[in-house]
Amino acid sequence: MRLTPIMTCAAAAGLALGSATAFAQQEDWPDSFTVGTASQGGTYFTYGSGWANLVANELGISGGGEVTGGPNQNLALVHNGDLAFGMTTMGPAAEALAGDSPIAPGVPLDNACAMFPMYQTPFSITVLEGSGIESISDIPEGAAIGFGPSGSTSDTYFPRMLETLGVEFDRRTGSWSDLAGQLQDGLIDVIAFAAGIPVPAVSQLEVQTDIRIIEFTEEEQAQVMEEFPVAAFEIPADTYQSLDGPARAVSMWNFAIARCDLPESFVYAATKAVMENHDRMMEIHRASRSTVPENYDKNTVMPWHPGAARWFIENGYEIPEDLIK
């Protein structure tokens, strides 16, 4: 049975939720689905909840985002079958496939497959304007630095990056919203963000107080790129009001993931919903400017779900058979 004509007819006819669910059951689709995101106040939560709602509306079944600990936990939850979909970055994905995930050490999390490209996650540093910190080298010894939710991409990689750059710190974790409040209240000195831009918590902070975005020097950027799976990145000047010009950073690619044993037709339809509705994705979050099919090749780590791979191949993108689960 061909999926596309059925989905097109369903949309045109405006089928009620009950009949759409009946079709899903007939095709062995789940009655509902959940997308693992991350903490509130971060890009993952806004972006993930948004594309979950888009897919739910397009497919006519119930779906939504769920607050999680971020990429590492999403990989584990999808692998274990607790979630249908999730979002991750390529660094944690590589570690999880190798059995090096901090959440499940020694267990290869190989039941999570690539679905579609999301966006790059820049690693950036935010301080209060009056902190006296104008560069990474200015961060004082023992500074309290918030690295995001425990086990997140930021918490996994940013402490190691700063240690590589010679920074000695007091490590703190928490949701981006909580950490932003702590920075404003003077309870921590720095927030080391790894999230799609603009980060909601940073945008909210600069409305409430004066902040400074700290960029990497060229030497610091090169040093971090040599040690970690990241690429050079510039945060555009128009991302935040606090920026006078582009800010040098490093970044890591994010991909949506699906449980590998989900029905091929279901993941095909979900991938199609996101990839063919770019304007609606841009309404969800500006980071979606990179959520385009051409960025499929940024996945150099994970096997593709057969349903997602089918959509890309049908639309002219080459995915070798040995890279499909």
Min mean pLDDT across 56-60, 181-185, 199-203 is at 199-203
Residue 12 pLDDT > 60: no
Residue 58 pLDDT > 50: yes
Q: What is the pLDDT of residues 251-270, one digit of tens each?
A: 999 999 999 999 999 999 99
pLDDT of residue 15: 35
Residue 93 pLDDT > 50: yes
Residue 13 pLDDT > 80: no
Mean pLDDT within 160-186: 96
pLDDT of residue 42: 84
Tell me the C-alpha distance between 308 and 260, whole Å: 10
Mean pLDDT within 306-310: 98
Mean pLDDT within 101-127: 95
pLDDT of residue 276: 98
Residue 18 pLDDT > 90: no
Tell me the C-alpha distance between 36 and 44, whole Å: 9
Residue 229 pLDDT > 90: no
Mean pLDDT of all residues belonging to the chain: 90
pLDDT of residue 114: 98
Tell me the C-alpha distance between 74 and 305, whole Å: 16
Min mean pLDDT across 35-44, 50-59, 139-148, 272-281 is at 35-44
Tell me the C-alpha distance between 53 and 285, whole Å: 13
pLDDT of residue 123: 96
- The gap from C-alpha 201 to its chain's centroid, in whole angstroms, comes to 15
Q: Label residue 17 by pLDDT band (50, 70, 90).
A: very low
Residue 279 pLDDT > 50: yes
pLDDT of residue 8: 29
Q: Label residue 34 by pLDDT band (50, 70, 90).
A: very high
pLDDT of residue 150: 86
Write the DSSP string, 149-173: STTSHHHHHHHHHHHHTT--EEEE-
Q: Label residue 153 by pLDDT band (50, 70, 90).
A: confident
In the DSSP assignment, the letter for residue 211 is E
Buried b (16+ CB within 10 A) or exposed e, 67-76: bbbbbbbbbb
